[in-house]
Amino acid sequence: MWYHSPRTTAIAAKLAEGAIGAVSRVSASFTFAAPDEEWLNGGNGRTDKTREPMGCLGDQGWYPISAILFAYGWKEMPTKVMATHTTFNTVDTIVACAGTMWFEGGRSAVFDCGCTAAHRSQFEIVGLGGTIRVDDLVGGQGRSGNFAAYETKFVGSGSYVLGDAAGKDEVVAVPEADHVDDLVRSFRGSIEAIQGGGDADQEWPKRSLMVHTVMSKLFESAMQGASIVEL
C-alpha cells in the first residue's frame, strides 16, 4: 500500500531529479514484537510455515525488500544476496531475518524483518549528496505508538526527512493520506483503463515478481545457513 501514497511519489521525484546523488546504499526494516509465546510459535499465519512457508520473511520481508528495490528505481536486481542472521521458532518457521544485498558498482542494501524486536517500519536511502529517510513506512501512523493504526482507518505518511551531505536534516511535508485508500483507487483506475479498451499496466506485476524473486533467494540463503545466493 505504501507505494501509492503521495509521499512515495514525492520521494521518487526527488530521487529522479538527483536530489541526493546516485543511490549507493539502502537500509530498511519492518519488525514488531510477538504478543505472546503461542503467537510466536505457530499461533499466527506468519509464524506457521504450513500457512506461510517463508514465515515472517515471506510476510514482513516484502516491505523492506520492496523499499530497497524502489530506492534503486525498480530498474535492477541485486547480483547476489545473503540472509546473514535467521531465527526459527519451535515449529521451524522463520520469525526473524536480516540480510545483505549486493548491487553492481559496489552498491549495497541491508534489511531486517520479523516479530522478535520492537516495532520499526522504516528505510533510509543514501547517496553521495544526501539521504532520504522514512520512519513510518508500513503503518503510516507517524510513529505515534498507536499499533491499532494497522487495523483501523488512519491518515499518515505526511512527511519524510531529507538530509544533506553534511548531515543537516530537513523535514519535508507532503499531503497526508490513507495509503490503503490510495491503493484501492489505483487498482480501480487500472481496472477502468482495461474496461475502456486499454492494456493492463505491466509495471505492477514486474515489481511484484522482482520483490518475490529477491525474497525467494534470501529464503534459499536462510535455509542453507547463510549462503551467498546469486541472482
Q: 153 pLDDT exceeds 90? A: no
In percent, how much of the chain has pLDDT > 70? 99
User: Does residue 67 lie within any of the structural domains?
Assistant: yes
Q: Per the structure, how many domains does the chain have?
A: 1
User: Does residue 34 lie within any of the structural domains?
Assistant: yes
Instruction: Encode pLDDT of 50-59 as tens digits.
Output: 999 999 999 9
Nearest to 163 by CA among 131, 188, 195: 131
Q: Which domain holds residue 119?
A: 2-224
User: Does residue 230 lie within any of the structural domains?
Assistant: no
User: Does residue 28 lie within any of the structural domains?
Assistant: yes
pLDDT at 142: 75
User: Do residues 201 and 193 touch, judged by C-beta distance below 8 A?
Assistant: yes
Banded pLDDT at 146 (limits 50, 70, 90): confident
Q: 110 pLDDT exceeds 90? A: yes
User: Does residue 231 lie within any of the structural domains?
Assistant: no
CATH of the domain at 101: 3.30.360.10
pLDDT at 155: 78
User: Does residue 148 lie within any of the structural domains?
Assistant: yes
Rounding to the nearest 10 degrees, give the CA dihedral for residues 56, 62, 68, 69: 150
User: Does residue 19 lie within any of the structural domains?
Assistant: yes
